[in-house]
Chains A and B, each alone.
Chain A
Amino acid sequence: MTSAGRVAAFCLVMGLLPGCGLLQGPEEAVGDPAGSPAEPAHSVFSVPRVSAERRAAIEDHMLAHLLGAAPLSARDGVRSYVNLVGHWLLQQDRDPDYAWRFVVLDDPAFFVTGLPQGTVVVSSGLLADLSSEAELAAVLAIGIGQVQTGAYLSRSDADALNTQEPAMLARRLLGLGPAADALLLADFEALYRVVHAGYDPWALAALMQRWIALPESSFSDAVFSAPDLETRFERLRWPLHDEFLHAGGAEIAARYQGRVR
């Protein structure tokens, strides 16, 4: 299924037809901030148009807050492994509009998110709970999806994104958290991305099932507040059943255990 086809299917499943940018056409899909440089729409939702420089400035301030709350992981081996898996996921379908980087923070809570200019942040606590590279790929693909769906930027209007002071904006976007519909689409996209990269898509399903069984207090409330994991898992039921029922793919448990544990 093509990317546009997936988006259309996703919107039908979600009942989101009015909110889906690709179905609305480009004029309605993006905002029209005065004076901002012309850029292609980078999300299917109504994400306001923001230059790469602005996105980078906002992202740096968001990351600065996260680094203030939890230090960078000191484990170079883990960081480079996560970086490799992340870039492998991007290899066939890399959006040059973003400066991709994968950051591991040393924190026990489950945390993964995709910031506006291509930074995917994951916590060491979440990594410690995974059992295979396919699960790591699923987690990073979720983060990549959140970058591409503008999970934070879609929380604000174009005017604010293009004129407000980045530090204040970053704080506000972090406070609002990622947008629910962008998160759901990011999960959906993650399934296709892991399959495309050769991993088993059912690792993502099994991972979400495990997460659902855990108490809420395992998860950072900054990125796992809404929608709940039950809803996120239910939205994946259709593509899992209809598209990937017989899908194979690599699991790679030994390499993951060797590099991360």
Chain B
Amino acid sequence: MRRFSLAFVLWALLTPAFAQDLLLVVQEPVSLRVGPAAHMPAMETLPAGARLLGVERSGGWYRVRADHAVEGWVPVLSTRFAPVSGVERAKLSGLHMKQILTVRPRLEEAMELAPSEPSRYELQQFAKSARLISGRPR
């Protein structure tokens, strides 16, 4: 089992298209499907704990590659990303609680920050250029 996992990790590291943070772990037994929908045929069932490489997301589905190189789709809610280490942004940050409470407040700057509301036309152009359609019932 350990040799199998090691081979998978090596394969993942040597596959340049995938970043480390796209490693997914299956949370519950799930069908690997040929397309991003529950009615698509299942190729196999993946056990909880299976590790997958995420390739892309389409709605509530991830396209993944299993460790034996089979590609398919699994639901987003059945997976989690594997923990990522080595990112410690907050240690370099000013936005720490302690810092926020002890700094000299910049009240003038805060009060000068006026709201800047785009015009209706600007918003329409913004939406149109990306074919954003709003107004679905809330």
Contacts and interface: CB of A to CB of B under 8 A. Distances in A.
Given A60-B110, A66-B95, A222-B96, A213 B90 contact: no
Given A3-B138, A103-B113, A213 B83 contact: yes
Interface in A76-125: 80, 83-84, 87-88, 91-93, 99-101, 103, 105, 107-111, 118-119, 123, 125
B130 A218 contact: no
A69 B89 CA distance: 15
A60 B111 contact: yes
Interface stretch (A20-28, A34-42, A154-162, A239-247): A239-247
A196 B134 CA distance: 6
Interface in B45-82: 57, 59-60, 76-77, 79-82
A13 interface: no
A174 B110 contact: no
Nearest to A111: B95
Contact of B80 (A1, A61, A209, A220): A209
Contact of B94 (A64, A69, A171, A177): A69
Contact of B101 (A65, A99, A215, A255): A65
Contact of B85 (A65, A192, A215): A215
Given A60-B110, A218-B89, A245 B60 contact: yes
Interface in A209-228: 209-210, 212-222, 225
B130 A252 contact: yes
A220 B95 contact: yes
B27 to A, nearest CB: 10
Contact of B84 (A100, A177, A214): A214
Contacts of B1: none
A101 B116 contact: yes
Contact of B95 (A70, A209, A225): A70
Contact of B90 (A60, A93, A221, A241): A221
Nearest to B91: A217
A3 B138 CA distance: 7
A206 B137 CA distance: 23
Contacts of A202: 57, 59-60, 76
A120 to B, nearest CB: 11
A217 B88 contact: yes
In terms of DSSP, what is the predominant structure of the interface of chain B?
Answer: loop
A215 B115 CA distance: 34
A118 B116 CA distance: 12
24 contacts: A2-B138, A60-B110, A64-B105, A67-B110, A68-B105, A69-B100, A72-B113, A84-B118, A84-B126, A92-B134, A101-B116, A108-B92, A108-B93, A167-B105, A174-B97, A196-B137, A197-B134, A198-B136, A202-B57, A206-B76, A210-B21, A219-B89, A222-B95, A249-B59
Interface of A: 1-3, 60-61, 63-70, 72, 80, 83-84, 87-88, 91-93, 99-101, 103, 105, 107-111, 118-119, 123, 125, 133, 167, 171, 174-175, 177, 192-193, 195-200, 202, 205-206, 209-210, 212-222, 225, 237, 240-241, 244-250, 252, 255
Given A70-B94, A109-B92, 20 more contacts: A2-B138, A65-B100, A69-B94, A69-B100, A70-B93, A91-B123, A92-B134, A92-B135, A193-B138, A196-B135, A198-B133, A202-B59, A209-B76, A214-B84, A215-B88, A220-B90, A222-B100, A237-B77, A245-B60, A247-B59
